[in-house]
Amino acid sequence: MFAKGLLYLALFASAAPQTTAKPPTPPKPELQRGGPDSLMIHGSAANVDEARRYADDFARCTASHNRKQAAAVLALSYGSAAQATAAGQVLKPDESCFGPMISSMQVGFDAPSLVGGMAEFFVLHPQAIEEQRRRTPGSFTWPAQNAIEAFGDCVVAQSDGQVRAFIASRVASDEETAAAQALAPALGQCVTEGQTIALNVGSIRELLAFSLYRHMAAPPAPPAVVAPATAAAH
């Protein structure tokens, strides 16, 4: 948790019980929609780190296959109900995105993990940003920043290179942990007076992926208008 004057970054993945479960019957995975912003895949118990990697890979793959819809999701306010609903609507039972782990894992897809993974796809494929800007310019007009977006934008402005290294790191790796630790000073500097933000590695990665995407996708500033030079007096 971060608070002004008392800063603490919890560098751990969200805790989840790791128990051994019997394979589902029938053995094929069951897709269950728990709400507009969630999709559960039921299989045998999974390691938390592997679940994070799988969810991130799935979200990136989903964005690559649904670029217009993903850009539209990223145009909505971070953490809003509208964004959660839109993120859930992009989910599709696409075998190419589920990948080989589906038969042996239980993974929860919530709105922030989907949004973060979608943003990571565009961050790592900047040409896709320009492609969508040409095709759907409306997805690059955003509402005013909310408080959490302002926090993420501040961190990116403070440490653009470190944020890029964080997003480029493999999920749930020692490299990711080191990159998160390197960001701690910038995270602390961006907490405003009286603001308290609970963070773990997964949640801060999701937010900063979104913030870095917004930084990269921001419409270019219009060219400066240069006044014509006045003719020299004769």
Q: Tell me if 212 is assigned to some domain.
A: yes
Domain residue limits at 137: 2-12+22-217
Per the structure, how many domains does the chain have?
A: 1
Q: Tell me if 31 is assigned to some domain.
A: yes
Q: Which of 52, 202, 195, 208 is nearest to 119 (CA)?
A: 208
Q: Tell me if 230 is assigned to some domain.
A: no
Q: Tell me if 17 is assigned to some domain.
A: no
User: What's the pLDDT score for residue 49?
Assistant: 84
Mean per-residue pLDDT, 114-129:
97
User: What's the pLDDT score for residue 81?
Assistant: 95
User: What's the pLDDT score for residue 27?
Assistant: 30
- Say how many Å lie between the first and final Cα of the chain, rounded: 70
Q: Tell me if 128 is assigned to some domain.
A: yes
User: What's the pLDDT score for residue 192?
Assistant: 81
Mean per-residue pLDDT, 98-109:
57
Q: Tell me if 178 is assigned to some domain.
A: yes
| Whether 120 contacts 100, CB under 8 Å | no
Please write down the long-range contacts of 225-233, taking CB distance under 8 Å and 24 or more positions apart: none
Most confidently modeled of 8-12, 31-35, 85-89, 190-194? 85-89
CA 159 to CA 25: how far, in whole Å? 49
Q: Which of 40, 47, 48, 39 is nearest to 24 (CA)?
A: 40
Mean per-residue pLDDT, 82-106:
73
**Element spanning 39, H or E:** strand 38-42
